[in-house]
Amino acid sequence: MKTRDYQVLDRAHHLHPFTDFKALGEEGSRIIERAEGVYIHDSEGNCILDGMAGLWCVNLGYGRHELVEAATAQLERLPYYNNFFKTTHPPAVKLAEKLVQLAPEHINHVFFVGSGSEANDTVLRMVRRYWALKGRPQKQWIIGRENGYHGSTLAGMSLGGMDVMHGQGGPCVPNIAHIRQPYWFGEGRDMSPESFGRECAAALEAKIQELGEENVAAFIAEPVQGAGGAIMPPESYWPAVKEVLARYDILLVADEVICGFGRLGEWFGSIHYDLKPDLMPIAKGLSSGYLPIGGVLVGDRVADTLIEEGGEFFHGFTYSGHPACAAVALKNLELIEAEGVVDRVRDDLGPYLARRWGELVEHPLVGEARSLGLMGALELVDPETGERFDKVLGVGNLCRDFSFAGGLVMRSVGDTMIISPPLVITHNEIDELVTKARAALDATL
Ligand code: PLP
């Protein structure tokens, strides 16, 4: 079939996620046909540097035959069996063991699911179940953050703080509140980052007091907000938040769906920020996106209670710990480990990106260029005033369109441009990424 045939059929029958379908117009969708390394190839013959690793997930890059072989071998041997009741299979058990080895010491169990959203649905039920078992069933409230993202199932979108999502298909799951985000460039530039970080942590304490500490079950947050705009909190933020949570005996859920598996230069974002969370939802980079799989890493405090006091937990999915997905995830983790990918992001690629990406701050359109590990953001500002354009899907969207045409995938959130490339990117490819990003900025100016 030709490109146009795909586009016509696509428009006729295919409802894309997170897409204004009408806005696709006559032009239609770009058809991605194949990929290799850090590059995707479309049906028109364009080769595009994937600065977003798909949707923040293709950590090992495209075309890894070891992952294909792991899937094929498992599909031939045992394509499906479930983990319900008293059955399991080798890939699920081996993956659980590997994850626990990589996780912080106090985490010794994992509950498998199919995606990041399912992981957060599981979190919501586990957290409330935990407190019920502890004889404190009134501890129901979960506090998330404005502009946080935890998925698009009903529980995921309710835990997340995206107003546009809350406004569709509601009402949201009850007893979920949101506090301000530690987004210094967007909301805190009238004070130092450190003061702002402490102020955001104080907002958590104020919300706990407003709801009543006896009613609050957990705080959920991404170590670094991903979809909200690659927002690295000020250094003062996490220590202050941890202190508040400990004081009021409230569980910490660190959503590692993006930050996990090397993105920030550690196996988990929680290790970078020394969070010691009670629960860590995971997905995406767990399998480098080759097959869908997620999980919840469960700390001893919660796991021991669920196991010792909980009886049957009436929760799980047909594809919890699917054998082929688990086999691919296991191989993916083994490759990341054997190839020293996490250390390379921390010691070499992350610092190199920080230097090269940081140079873009010289551009008249850029107010801030930040990165941590292999996640980065550019804050676009009006060159005349230095202020945000403040148009949702405005200048950032334009810049993204130019970069796509110029051979680079970046993502835009309002006037913030984001990158999160595969963790196997080379120095030369980082140079290419920065050159193409600069060209997109020039074209947008
Ligand atoms: N949590 C975070 C932090 C995410 O970024 C995402 C997806 O982007 C999710 C959860 C939801 O994951 P999924 O799209 O696999 O359901």
Residues with CB under 6 A from ligand 1: 115-117, 120, 149-151, 156, 222, 226-227, 255, 257-258, 283
Residue 264 pLDDT exceeds 60: yes
pLDDT at 391: 65
- Cα separation, 233 vs 196, whole angstroms: 9
Report the nearest-CA residue for atom 7 of ligand 1: 151
Domain for residue 140, yes or no? yes
118 Cα nearest atom in ligand 1: 16
> Does residue 391 share a domain with residue 307?
no
Domain for residue 7, yes or no? no
227 Cα nearest atom in ligand 1: 5
The partner residues of 411 in beta bridges, in order of sequence, read: 418
> Does residue 260 share a domain with residue 230?
yes
Give the pLDDT mean for 298-321: 98
Residue 295 pLDDT exceeds 90: yes
Q: How far is the CA of 362 from the centre of ligand 1 (A)?
A: 33
Give the pLDDT mean for 14-37: 90
Report the nearest-CA residue for atom 10 of ligand 1: 150
pLDDT at 24: 79
153 Cα nearest atom in ligand 1: 16
Residues 6 or more apart whose Cβ sits within 8 Å of residue 200: 179, 180, 181, 182, 188, 233, 237
Q: How far is the CA of 152 from the centre of ligand 1 (A)?
A: 8
Q: How far is the CA of 222 from the centre of ligand 1 (A)?
A: 10
- Quick: pLDDT tens for 335-344: 999 999 999 9
- Cα separation, 298 vs 103, whole angstroms: 10
Report the nearest-CA residue for atom 13 of ligand 1: 116
Q: How far is the CA of 385 from the centre of ligand 1 (A)?
A: 35
> Does residue 116 share a domain with residue 103?
yes
Domain for residue 397, yes or no? yes
Portion of the chain with pLDDT greater than 90, in percent: 94
Q: Which of 272, 304, 338 is the last residue of a domain?
A: 338
Mutation choice for ligand 1 from 122, 157, 255, 257, CB with most ligand atoms inside 8 A: 257
Residue 420 pLDDT exceeds 60: yes
Mutation choice for ligand 1 from 59, 147, 149, CB with most ligand atoms inside 8 A: 149
- Cα separation, 250 vs 131, whole angstroms: 10
pLDDT at 137: 97
Q: Could you tell me the CATH number of the domain that includes residue 388?
A: 3.90.1150.10
Q: How far is the CA of 390 from the centre of ligand 1 (A)?
A: 25
Name the average pLDDT for the chain.
96
Domain for residue 203, yes or no? yes
Q: Which of 313, 338, 363 is the last residue of a domain?
A: 338
> Does residue 248 share a domain with residue 334?
yes
255 Cα nearest atom in ligand 1: 3
- Quick: pLDDT tens for 153-207: 999 999 999 999 999 987 999 999 999 999 999 999 999 999 999 999 999 999 9
Beta strands in 43-96 (DSSP E): 47-50
Residue 215 pLDDT exceeds 80: yes
Does the predicted model carry a pTM greater than 0.90?
Answer: yes
pLDDT tier at 393, thresholds 50, 70, 90: low
Domain for residue 19, yes or no? no
Residue 25 pLDDT exceeds 80: no
Q: The domain containing residue 356 runs over which residues?
A: 31-63+340-444
Q: How far is the CA of 163 from the centre of ligand 1 (A)?
A: 16
> Does residue 80 share a domain with residue 52?
no
> Does residue 364 share a domain with residue 290?
no
pLDDT tier at 389, thresholds 50, 70, 90: confident
Query: How far is the CA of 335 from the CAs of 63, 65, 96, in angstroms?
Result: 13, 11, 16
Cα torsion at 266, 400, 386, 235 (round to 10°)? -10
Q: How far is the CA of 434 from the centre of ligand 1 (A)?
A: 26
Query: How far is the CA of 418 from the CAs of 103, 225, 231, 380, 400, in angstroms?
Result: 27, 11, 10, 11, 9
Domain for residue 345, yes or no? yes
Q: Could you tell me the CATH number of the domain that includes residue 229?
A: 3.40.640.10
Domain for residue 100, yes or no? yes
283 Cα nearest atom in ligand 1: 15
151 Cα nearest atom in ligand 1: 11
Q: How far is the CA of 217 from the centre of ligand 1 (A)?
A: 22
> Does residue 107 share a domain with residue 49?
no
> Does residue 408 share a domain with residue 301?
no
Report the nearest-CA residue for atom 1 of ligand 1: 150
Q: Which of 338, 364, 399 is the last residue of a domain?
A: 338
> Does residue 54 share a domain with residue 101?
no
Domain for residue 13, yes or no? no
- Quick: pLDDT tens for 54-84: 999 999 999 999 999 999 999 999 999 999 9
> Does residue 215 share a domain with residue 142?
yes
Q: How many structural domains are present in the chain?
A: 2
Residue 386 pLDDT exceeds 90: no
Residue 26 pLDDT exceeds 80: no
Q: How far is the CA of 117 from the centre of ligand 1 (A)?
A: 6
Q: How far is the CA of 149 from the centre of ligand 1 (A)?
A: 7
> Does residue 326 share a domain with residue 278?
yes
> Does residue 222 share a domain with residue 291?
yes
Q: How far is the CA of 224 from the centre of ligand 1 (A)?
A: 13
pLDDT at 394: 80
With contact defined as beta carbons under 8 Å apart, do 220 and 141 qualify?
no
